[in-house]
A and B are shown apart, each in its own frame.
Chain A
């Protein structure tokens, strides 16, 4: 599903050049749940942003669904992004001025889904994530856990091929954090492909594979022992 070969990313300011990613290669298969870990500044978020088509690469190749991304125009990338990728952020990134319902509905609007269908979809996903009673509220009126559920709902509403999560539990307490992780595991169990960036070993342990990064390079890959099936029964 994702095939990255020798990918490099260089940030340059007036004075210095920083190699955020240095010849990174990485494959993610459909249905995989992969975690990227590493210290602050190791390039994991940059990698995630590139995978999410939010950032450009300096060199190398990135194929999403067998299609080369490097070199596509903004508009094409925007199109691929809205059809294939769902985002979950550490700070939720909800629009405060819009209600929960409106926030979840946004990707559908941008994908030109008719209004009646949108309503059905939003209600369905809200029920699935147990936030139906919150649809009329505004983000600021919700707890962090609830906000992240809304963000997840928004990421899922469009049935994306891959979910990108950037420290999804970073702003949550352990109880809410757990809930979100269980949600992701649940999604994975149902066939979703997930790429997650995290600082937490515990969170990483929910995934099948953990990639450790340092100074813009992939250090090691580790298969996690945790059995997915057990967790499904737990949740």
Chain B
């Protein structure tokens, strides 16, 4: 029997090469999309999954009110926790982010990224596989733990344990080598224990939230109790004293300035569900992941629908075969088995083809996601089998049952080719396809519009001819003249850079365009609390970036006070303090009285997905320690001289400023563009998927129109005999598809609007959805439909009438 089935299958394959190819291709594109989504999904879900403590370990997030939610905690909690919160089994502070620096071992000198500083018990929170040495004692004193790759990089085949490595002004002793199996929210390349020193220095500073705190609870169910107890610690030690200082009761104070509240996030769900992005390896993009999975499911549905449509339409051609089989004794079940068998083979083909597609395009996909996904893993193969089963059931069973229900006699008598059975379902599915295609066309257009809006929006500054040089600002805080030395160093760099041919102007500020300022201090003005970004600048900074001053004046060397107490606020800050005439007003900022001399027009220094924050500007000399926060030096370059200017800067930089770090620069506008890079990528992805969806949908439409027109050939012949002209026939034949197209489009309208509107909510600066994407989408869809249907219909009207009039 199997042999017979295969023979017939191969015969059909040979005789319907084109449609079979379309079918397999459509299905494999659908499956490939899902495979991509699954690979991404598996990778994101695997974060911390290996960690046996994933349920017990909690990441501490602190909510300081006013939208200040940080993945960091105060060091002052440390001495209190053991007694005040007995639910905690142990805790571990880390510096919360990765540092980087030059490592020296013998003659070898290399930059190492992802250096983390953690307390001694870090390995009991993240029990990485220990290859050498002892993890428990690795982080004592000047001990250092290195990952396998760093060990290889520096020591090759030598045993790294007890080797001395120089890093940031002192020697560390390598105590253990570890290997991280699986993805983790913490994947340091090197771990040291410097944080301990800072914790001691800060152990009574309740207002300093600079360290990341991991908690291991005795019982994860007590997380809420532990959270409340930590909240209480903050209340008792932070809110109460501050209230006393400002002469209020704690309750009054709390009403005005929120107390710190803690959120405990289990490691298990940290990667995708954290409220902050502050874990060292960041947060997974849950929204994007969901979009990927949903879109790929839509595409798979589309291709399954296609398959069903083609299979049922094609089955009519095979009605006679089914009739004969039935007369010869095949039962319904047997017929079903035969047709499901064919789907199984087709699906196997499709899956193999989809794996080929995935394998070939995986590098691009990885590039796109910044990941290193591979087709591998027991879980993945299980999922693949599951996809196989689902596709076979969804795509195979229905057409098989449909075919098996053919009435033997009707079929054998002929005239079955014009049967109307199953047509409503095919039409419904066609409408569904139109709806999905409409959604994609409209959606990708809107995404395109938003990204275009971001790319062309007036950002409030001009960065097209300004380069941003990464400045590894090193300083020695222990030197009492450190601030002066650091400032002096900056001025000498500025001087030297200005002399390079092609550089017009050089300046700096404690912020980057696209990254904002990392430094922020709150101040209270007439009872209103504002938390502006601190923007220390050089005199010419704002002018050089063409940032406008709307009131008062900018900072200038001409005024002695401008290096002592003058400050500017941006428009947002002025709005927030509700001061109509801010010029000349005094602000009490960090024990300093700053006098407002001007208002700066709002400009974007963070991504367009965020509102413009309040900002306060002052000169480096006004707040001397701010010079430490200069990490970018800006220079206006003459585009004509660029080819000689850039190598010269690099030469100077590498030889005199920073021989150890790689020279890195970018144009300011390009750097800013990175803030919406991920959305630009989403746009590209959406466009690509759009192409896939339209292709599959047009395949389906083409095939279905072919079958349907085939079915109507006799009718066409009769009409032609009766004198119908080609034009009339074309109208007649394409009418229904136009109706389906319109219905499908209308169905997609509302979901497309809703979902895209939600997506646009990601952006503080967004377009509003106009009718244009819908109109364009509709026209495009209609045009494509007409092209496909009319070409097919035109072909039909050309055929010889006699063939269909006579023999039926």
Which positions in A face B, CB cutoff 8 Å?
A: 45, 49, 52, 54-55, 75, 78-79, 81-83, 87, 89, 91, 93-97, 106-107, 110-111, 154
Instruction: Tell whether B248 is near chain A: CB-to-CB under 8 Å.
Output: no
Give A81 to B724 CA distance when docked, in angstroms.
10
Instruction: Tell whether B85 is near chain A: CB-to-CB under 8 Å.
Output: no
Give A114 to B775 CA distance when docked, in angstroms.
35
Of B192-200, B314-322, B504-512, B711-719, the segment with at least 4 beta carbons within 8 Å of chain A is B711-719
Complex contact A89–B805 (CB within 8 A): yes
| B715: A residues at CB distance < 8 A | 95, 97
- Selected from A49, A78, A95, the residue in CB contact (under 8 A) with B723 is A78
- Selected from A54, A79, A94, the residue in CB contact (under 8 A) with B801 is A54
The smallest C-beta distance from B299 to any residue of chain A, in angstroms, reads: 34
**Given A54-B801, A96-B418, A81 contacting B808 (CB threshold 8 A):** no
Chain B interface size band reads: 20 to 34
- A sample of 25 inter-chain contacts (CB < 8 A) reads A45-B806, A52-B721, A54-B721, A54-B802, A55-B802, A75-B726, A78-B723, A78-B724, A78-B725, A81-B723, A82-B723, A87-B721, A87-B722, A91-B808, A93-B714, A93-B717, A93-B805, A95-B718, A96-B418, A97-B420, A97-B715, A110-B722, A110-B723, A110-B725, A111-B723
Instruction: Tell whether B141 is near chain A: CB-to-CB under 8 Å.
Output: no
The smallest C-beta distance from B83 to any residue of chain A, in angstroms, reads: 86
Within 8 A of A (CB), among B715-773: 715, 717-726, 728
The 0/1 profile, CB within 8 Å of A marked 1, for residues 789-808 of chain B is 00000000000011001101
| A82: B residues at CB distance < 8 A | 722-723
Complex contact A110–B801 (CB within 8 A): no
| B802: A residues at CB distance < 8 A | 49, 54-55
The 0/1 profile, CB within 8 Å of A marked 1, for residues 621-664 of chain B is 00000000000000000000000000000000000000000000
Closest residue to A90 on the B side, CB-wise?
Answer: B806
Complex contact B718–A93 (CB within 8 A): yes
Complex contact B721–A93 (CB within 8 A): yes
| A81: B residues at CB distance < 8 A | 721, 723
Give A106 to B801 CA distance when docked, in angstroms.
17
Closest residue to A157 on the B side, CB-wise?
Answer: B722
Give A106 to B723 CA distance when docked, in angstroms.
9
Closest residue to A80 on the B side, CB-wise?
Answer: B723
Closest residue to B808 on the A side, CB-wise?
Answer: A91
Within 8 A of A (CB), among B507-527: none
Give A93 to B420 CA distance when docked, in angstroms.
17
The smallest C-beta distance from B727 to any residue of chain A, in angstroms, reads: 10
Closest residue to A86 on the B side, CB-wise?
Answer: B722
| A79: B residues at CB distance < 8 A | 723
Closest residue to B715 on the A side, CB-wise?
Answer: A95
Give A87 to B722 CA distance when docked, in angstroms.
8
| A87: B residues at CB distance < 8 A | 721-722
- Selected from A54, A106, A107, A110, the residue in CB contact (under 8 A) with B805 is A54
| B418: A residues at CB distance < 8 A | 96
| A45: B residues at CB distance < 8 A | 806
The smallest C-beta distance from A231 to any residue of chain B, in angstroms, reads: 29
| B722: A residues at CB distance < 8 A | 82, 87, 106-107, 110, 154
Give A95 to B726 CA distance when docked, in angstroms.
18
* Interface pairs A-B: 4 shortest CB-CB: A82-B723, A110-B723, A107-B722, A95-B715
Give A13 to B630 CA distance when docked, in angstroms.
87
Give A168 to B145 CA distance when docked, in angstroms.
99
Give A52 to B718 CA distance when docked, in angstroms.
13
Closest residue to A98 on the B side, CB-wise?
Answer: B715
Complex contact A110–B724 (CB within 8 A): yes
Give A100 to B415 CA distance when docked, in angstroms.
19
Q: Given A106-B719, A110-B724, 15 more contacts at CB 8 Å?
A: A45-B806, A54-B802, A75-B726, A78-B725, A81-B723, A89-B805, A93-B721, A93-B805, A95-B718, A96-B418, A97-B420, A97-B715, A106-B724, A107-B722, A154-B722
The smallest C-beta distance from A228 to any residue of chain B, in angstroms, reads: 29
The smallest C-beta distance from B406 to any residue of chain A, in angstroms, reads: 18
The smallest C-beta distance from A41 to any residue of chain B, in angstroms, reads: 13
Give A118 to B145 CA distance when docked, in angstroms.
95
Complex contact B728–A110 (CB within 8 A): yes
Give A55 to B802 CA distance when docked, in angstroms.
8
Closest residue to A89 on the B side, CB-wise?
Answer: B805
The smallest C-beta distance from B592 to any residue of chain A, in angstroms, reads: 87
| B726: A residues at CB distance < 8 A | 75
The smallest C-beta distance from B658 to any residue of chain A, in angstroms, reads: 81
| A91: B residues at CB distance < 8 A | 808
Give A87 to B801 CA distance when docked, in angstroms.
13
Give A75 to B726 CA distance when docked, in angstroms.
9
Give A154 to B723 CA distance when docked, in angstroms.
12
| A96: B residues at CB distance < 8 A | 418
The smallest C-beta distance from B627 to any residue of chain A, in angstroms, reads: 85
The smallest C-beta distance from A99 to any residue of chain B, in angstroms, reads: 14
Give A52 to B723 CA distance when docked, in angstroms.
11
Q: Which of B719, B724, B726, B805 has the most CB of A within 10 A?
A: B805
Complex contact B808–A75 (CB within 8 A): no
Give A75 to B725 CA distance when docked, in angstroms.
7
Give A54 to B418 CA distance when docked, in angstroms.
23
The 0/1 profile, CB within 8 Å of A marked 1, for residues 249-274 of chain B is 00000000000000000000000000
Give A95 to B805 CA distance when docked, in angstroms.
11
The smallest C-beta distance from A210 to any residue of chain B, in angstroms, reads: 23
| A49: B residues at CB distance < 8 A | 802
- Selected from B420, B717, B720, the residue in CB contact (under 8 A) with A78 is B720
Complex contact A95–B719 (CB within 8 A): yes
| B806: A residues at CB distance < 8 A | 45
Give A97 to B420 CA distance when docked, in angstroms.
9
